[in-house]
């Protein structure tokens, strides 16, 4: 059965071998509490890389059993992040998570050509899974955070990551809507052209594992009534599992509108590195961080 609500990931993970998460520069309560909750739920095993004294102090202040973690001492931010990446490369973990380290330093450690987590030609992008109360299933979408204006090659990679994520959620034949401002094929709009190419690549077996159609506006991607009114014929329209956005503005607005005005919850990951990477913000809720960790454990190989 496909997962239709984010909390169903917890049950799904019980049947899978437990993966180890390594948190980079885990000196803050936000990271430690999120990893602690994930360990308590039996989703992962946790390694915290950071200053041992600080980690013990935070655990004491928040009544967290520090013995549930493996702690690797490195008090310096950049070195702790590099060490977390090195531990992944040494096979000591299958999931990376951002701690108190700044996002740019975290990403720099992942992207390091010699010691990072990127294979030649790999494309780093962001996938979000949104649980919207107004939609009967999860929405897998991207990119809302990393690539400003993805070209066709990047969209192909993102499309494959969306399908991969949907498969991990138990959706055997995910429906991918390639989003534009209209469902009409307008040659003067690059988003429409790229969408049509992706759809044709899917028809010809160059993109596998799901159904891809576009261009589709958001209304016809997720609303059956709009499809009927516009008399649109599509294997995806009105029932999309995945939304591939034309640029970061469209994706980010959808993401923030969903969370701030529609009471949506989410989990999110960075894809394209050798392991899934959790890129959480201090402003993210504990539940968002927990869902992101669970999602990482589901997609981790």
CATH code at 26? Answer: 3.40.50.10950
281 pLDDT more than 80: no
Which residue's structure tokens are 């008090």?
75
pLDDT confidence of residue 34: 93
Alpha-carbon span 198 to 213, nearest angstrom: 7
Which residue's structure tokens are 């915290």? 48
**DSSP letter string, 94-160:** SEEEE-SS-HHHHHHHHH-TTTSS--TT---EEEEEEE-TTSSS-EEEE-SSS-SS--HHHHHHHHH
* Number of domains the chain is built from: 2
Query: Does a structural domain hold residue 99?
Result: yes
198 and 79 in one domain? no
Do 131 and 244 reside in the same domain of the chain? yes
Do 76 and 56 belong together in one domain? Answer: yes
Residue 266 belongs to some domain of the structure? no
pLDDT per position as a tens digit, 32-62 = 999 999 999 999 999 999 999 999 999 999 9
Based on the domain organization, do 278 and 246 belong to the same domain?
no
Full residue range of the structural domain in which residue 40 is found: 8-120+273-299
CA count, 13 A, side-chain hemisphere, 244: 34
In a domain? residue 292: yes
As given in the structure block, the two tokens for residue 218 are: 């958001």
Write out pLDDT tens, residues 17-32: 999 999 999 999 999 9
pLDDT at 301: 84
**62: Cβ–Cβ under 8 A, 6 or more apart, which residues?**
29, 32, 33
Q: Are 58 and 105 within one domain? A: yes
Mean pLDDT (the chain, rounded) = 96
Mean pLDDT of all residues in 113-128: 95
Q: Pick from 106, 56, 107, 48: which is nearest to 77 by CA?
A: 106
Q: pTM for this one? A: 0.94
* pLDDT at residue 283 is higher than 80: no
CA distances from 14 to 9, 88, 143, 212, 265 (A): 9, 23, 29, 31, 22
Same domain, 17 and 60: yes
Is residue 171 domain-resident?
yes
Is 3 part of any domain? no
For residue 137, the model assigns a pLDDT of 97
What is the per-residue DSSP string for 249-273? Answer: HHHHHHHHHHHHHS--EEEEEEESS
Give the pLDDT band (50/70/90) at residue 290: very high
Pairing relation of β-strands 125-131 and 265-271? antiparallel
Task: Quickly count: other Cβ atoms within 10 Å of residue 127's Cβ.
Answer: 27
In terms of Cβ atoms closer than 10 Å to its own Cβ (0-12, 13-18, 19+), residue 174 is buried
**What does the pLDDT read at residue 1?**
86
Looking at the structure, tell me whether residues 257 and 287 fall in a common domain: no
If we measure between CA atoms, which residue out of 43, 41, 45 comes closest to residue 93? 45
**What CATH number has the domain bearing residue 144?**
3.40.718.10
């Amino acid at each position: 059965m496909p997962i239709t609500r984010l909390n169903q990931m917890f049950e799904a993970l019980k049947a899978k071998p437990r993966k180890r998460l390594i948190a980079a520069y885990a000196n803050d309560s936000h990271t430690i509490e999120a990893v602690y909750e994930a360990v308590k739920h039996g989703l992962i095993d946790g390694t915290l890389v950071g200053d041992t004294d600080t980690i013990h102090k935070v655990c004491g202040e928040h009544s967290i059993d520090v013995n549930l973690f493996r702690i690797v001492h490195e008090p310096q931010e950049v070195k702790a992040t590099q060490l977390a990446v090195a531990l992944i490369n040494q096979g000591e973990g299958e999931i990376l998570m951002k701690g108190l380290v700044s996002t740019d330093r975290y990403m720099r450690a992942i992207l390091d050509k010699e010691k990072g987590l990127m294979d030649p030609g790999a494309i780093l992008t962001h996938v979000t899974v949104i649980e919207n109360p107004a939609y009967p299933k999860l929405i897998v979408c991207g990119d809302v955070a990393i690539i400003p204006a993805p070209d066709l090659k990047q969209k192909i990679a993102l499309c494959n990551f969306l399908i991969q994520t949907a498969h991990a959620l138990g959706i055997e034949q995910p429906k991918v809507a390639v989003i534009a401002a209209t469902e009409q094929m307008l040659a003067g709009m690059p988003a429409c052209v790229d969408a049509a190419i992706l759809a044709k690549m899917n028809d010809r077996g160059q993109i596998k594992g799901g159904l891809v159609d576009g261009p589709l506006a958001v209304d016809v991607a997720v609303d059956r009534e709009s499809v009927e009114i516009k008399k649109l014929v599509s294997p995806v329209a009105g029932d999309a599992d995945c939304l591939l956005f034309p640029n970061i503005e469209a994706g980010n607005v959808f993401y923030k509108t969903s969370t701030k005005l529609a009471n949506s919850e989410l989990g999110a990951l960075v894809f394209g590195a050798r392991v899934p990477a959790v890129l959480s913000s201090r402003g993210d809720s504990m539940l968002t961080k927990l869902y992101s960790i669970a999602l990482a454990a589901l997609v981790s190989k």
